A and B are shown apart, each in its own frame.
Chain A
Amino acid sequence: MLPGKPLLEARRVAKTFTLGKVAVPALRGVDMAVAAGEVVLLMGPSGSGKTTLLSILGCILAPTSGSVAVMGREASGLPEAELARVRLAHFGFIFQGYNLFPTLFAEENVRVSLDLRGVGKADAVARSRAALEAVGLGDKFRVLPRDLSGGQKQRVAIARALVAEPEILLADEPTAALDSETGKAVIALLRELAVSHGRCVVIVTHDARIAAFADRVIRIEDGRITGQGQEPL
């Protein structure tokens, strides 16, 4: 049962990759929707299609068939430039490997997200610092990623994803490189910052320990949703 109107919706989404002459189906008709304020985990074994689904939900990868609607607007079939505008307008991304700019300070890494959206420098600096303070890195503005711990890097990545206040947050294995306690803290933070602002969050993970922070867990196997509920399946 969705708590509100869906911000993100996939209908009969299928994706087939072609490796040489061999067609490899990664998704076989997935239907799902995520509402505002909802935290959804996508779980399943490696190669089950979780990351492919996340890429399609994030308008980064085009489905072979089916459609994706973002904020109620059909996104499938849009040209790449338009999809980039959709991503910029509505999405925040958190990646497994943090994907921070190694040559930029923490504050600058966060500010990139605002610079892409045309926010002026003074405003962008203030908002970036506020975002870092919100993730507990108020004393790390002028620190390079190489001098941050894994947990701190992921917090910078969260600040970067949230600073532009996107409605939808997509995270790919955000705790994979973190120890158990740090992983839990990061997810708790993510939930707090997202849900309190009415955002929806979709997280791909293998980590069953963070299921407690999710509203819903969707199990994917062999490119299909095989179950969903509020506990790890």
Chain B
Amino acid sequence: MIIRIALRNLLHDRVRLAVTLTGVVFAVVLIAVQGGLFVGFTRATSCVIDNTEAEVWVASRGVRNFDVTHPLPDQKFHQVLGIPGVARAERFIVRFANWKKPAGGQESIEVVGFDPASGLGRPWAMTAGSQSALRLPDAVAVDELYLGKLGITGLGDRAEINDRRARVVALTRGIRSFTTSPYVFTSFENGLKYAGFARGQSTYLLVRPVAGLSAETLRDAIAAGVPDVDVFTREEFSGKTQYYWMFTTGAGMALLIAASLGLVVGGVVVAQTLYATTVDHLPEFGTLRAMGAPGGYIHRIIVAQAVAAALVGYAFGIAISYFLVSLAERGGASILLPPGMAVGLFFLTVVMCVTAGLVSIRKVTSIDPAMVFRGA
């Protein structure tokens, strides 16, 4: 009966129900989109790190994120190779550069130079061309998402990077850059040229441990044996980069604040409409109290109303959110709504609505059951 009474109360005033659901949907969509942007951006900041097979990263001292750091001298590469426990070390280049479009115009890009022979730091999700083609002089791989931005149409197109020739030999799908500069993958040799580095210089050293040795142990060994470098496990460097971009720049906080705003606004709307619904049905709640209904019985009716509003509002909200995510996939924005986040959002929605219902519970708790004899 509790659920029946709750649903009938909600359905009694369709307009108010529509406002309640609008509030829930608004909150769900806003939180999902802002939260999805947060997750998408966060993952984008460290996607290259997360997709390499290198367990340990070596960078110049004081590095704060993946994208901006000083080059390492060749000497560091040889010092790392001399550390016991190193199975393999590869030089890796990350450098902002200028892309000159074939038809004129420029774009900022981020050159990623890796060793095609070892494959450490190679592009993933390749849809056309091959990794081996990147060994060729001037060969680069770009993501399909950025073809228009880079002024090209596909394989074989030519452009210039820092006034040096570049030819697209491979395409990837879904490798997004957090910065406005798309990643352009190329061989380490080409990368040296595009970055203007001296032979042997690199931005990072990607290191793999011998079998059985943990990344943490190797990290400590390199840090102890190689001076003036910072050494991280993959997860540490990924986390450091994510933290830098999302929190020290304020980008992440802006997204989280917007998501919180959705929670607050949605909660307030739901609280107001549930409260109004409760006030409308105050005589019935008073009657229940007069009849001897335990407080829990009445509270459960209100909670059931809140949960019902949460369930229906969430269903509409999450459907709209996934639609927006699918639209964003075709554009440049990176909105990710993983299943775990959708489940978390469901519980958040229920908590938001039930919390909003507490205002109404306060109201019914204060009903004087004697009101039923006053013709209320």
B291 touches A87 (CB 8 A): yes
Bound complex: CA A89 to CA B286 (Å): 18
Q: Which of A84-130 contact B (CB under 8 A)?
A: 84-89, 91, 93, 95-97, 99, 101-104, 108, 111-113, 115-116
A residues within 8 A CB of B374? 51
Task: Specify which of B2, B5, B8, B290 is in contact with A87 (CB 8 Å cutoff).
Answer: B290
B residues within 8 A CB of A111? 1
B369 touches A60 (CB 8 A): yes
Stretch at the interface among B14-22, B244-252, B293-301, B320-328: B293-301
Bound complex: CA A99 to CA B297 (Å): 18
Known: A55-B373, A95-B372, A103-B12. A113 touches B295 (CB 8 A): no
A residues within 8 A CB of B290? 58, 60, 87, 93
Q: Which of B1-58 contact A (CB under 8 A)?
A: 1-2, 4-5, 8-9, 11-12
A-contact 0/1 string along B345-376, CB 8 Å cutoff: 00000000000000000000000011011110
Bound complex: CA A85 to CA B283 (Å): 20
B residues within 8 A CB of A71? none
Bound complex: CA A123 to CA B286 (Å): 26
Known: A61-B370, A115-B1, A172-B373. A101 touches B294 (CB 8 A): no
B residues within 8 A CB of A172? 372-373
How far apart are B230's CB and chain A's nearest CB, in angstroms?
Answer: 64
A residues within 8 A CB of B283? 97, 99
How far apart are A33's CB and chain B's nearest CB, in angstroms?
Answer: 21
How far apart are B303's CB and chain A's nearest CB, in angstroms?
Answer: 16
A112 touches B1 (CB 8 A): yes
Name the interface size band of chain A. 20 to 34
B residues within 8 A CB of A88? 291-294
Bound complex: CA A202 to CA B373 (Å): 14
B residues within 8 A CB of A93? 290-291, 372
B288 CB within 8 Å of chain A: yes
Known: A81-B294, A93-B291. A104 touches B4 (CB 8 A): yes
B287 CB within 8 Å of chain A: yes
A residues within 8 A CB of B297? 116
Task: Specify which of B1, B8, B287, B289 is in contact with A84 (CB 8 Å cutoff).
Answer: B289
Task: Specify which of B12, B288, B292, B373 is in contact with A89 (CB 8 Å cutoff).
Answer: B292
Known: A60-B370, A99-B284, A103-B5. A116 touches B293 (CB 8 A): yes
Specify the main secondary structure of chain B where it touches its partner.
Answer: helix
Of chain B, the residue at the smallest CB distance from A90 is B292
Bound complex: CA A60 to CA B367 (Å): 12
How far apart are A75's CB and chain B's nearest CB, in angstroms?
Answer: 12
How far apart are A40's CB and chain B's nearest CB, in angstroms?
Answer: 17
Bound complex: CA A184 to CA B375 (Å): 21
B5 touches A113 (CB 8 A): no
A54 CB within 8 Å of chain B: yes
Q: Which of A50-67 contact B (CB under 8 A)?
A: 51, 54-55, 58, 60-61
How far apart are B253's CB and chain A's nearest CB, in angstroms?
Answer: 45
Q: Which of B82-140 contact A (CB under 8 A)?
A: none
B residues within 8 A CB of A58? 290
Chain A CB within 10 A, most for which of B8, B9, B292, B295: B292
Task: Specify which of B12, B295, B373 is in contact with A81 (CB 8 Å cutoff).
Answer: B295
Known: A104-B4, A108-B1. A99 touches B372 (CB 8 A): yes
B375 touches A97 (CB 8 A): yes
Of chain B, the residue at the smallest CB distance from A103 is B8
A residues within 8 A CB of B369? 60
Bound complex: CA A104 to CA B2 (Å): 12
B373 touches A113 (CB 8 A): no
B residues within 8 A CB of A85? 292, 294
Bound complex: CA A7 to CA B295 (Å): 26
B residues within 8 A CB of A101? 5, 8, 284, 287
Known: A99-B283, A99-B287, A112-B288. A51 touches B294 (CB 8 A): no
Bound complex: CA A116 to CA B8 (Å): 18
Bound complex: CA A60 to CA B370 (Å): 6
Known: A101-B284, A103-B8. A84 touches B373 (CB 8 A): no
Bound complex: CA A103 to CA B1 (Å): 12
Interface CB pairs A-B, < 8 A, 12: A51-B373, A54-B373, A60-B290, A60-B373, A81-B295, A85-B292, A88-B292, A93-B290, A112-B1, A115-B2, A116-B292, A172-B373
* Extra 9 A-B pairs, beta carbons < 8 Å, given A88-B293, A172-B373: A60-B369, A81-B295, A84-B289, A99-B283, A101-B8, A101-B284, A102-B12, A108-B4, A116-B294
Chain A residues engaging chain B, CB cutoff 8 angstroms? 51, 54-55, 58, 60-61, 81, 84-89, 91, 93, 95-97, 99, 101-104, 108, 111-113, 115-116, 172
Chain B residues engaging chain A, CB cutoff 8 angstroms? 1-2, 4-5, 8-9, 11-12, 283-284, 286-295, 297, 369-370, 372-375
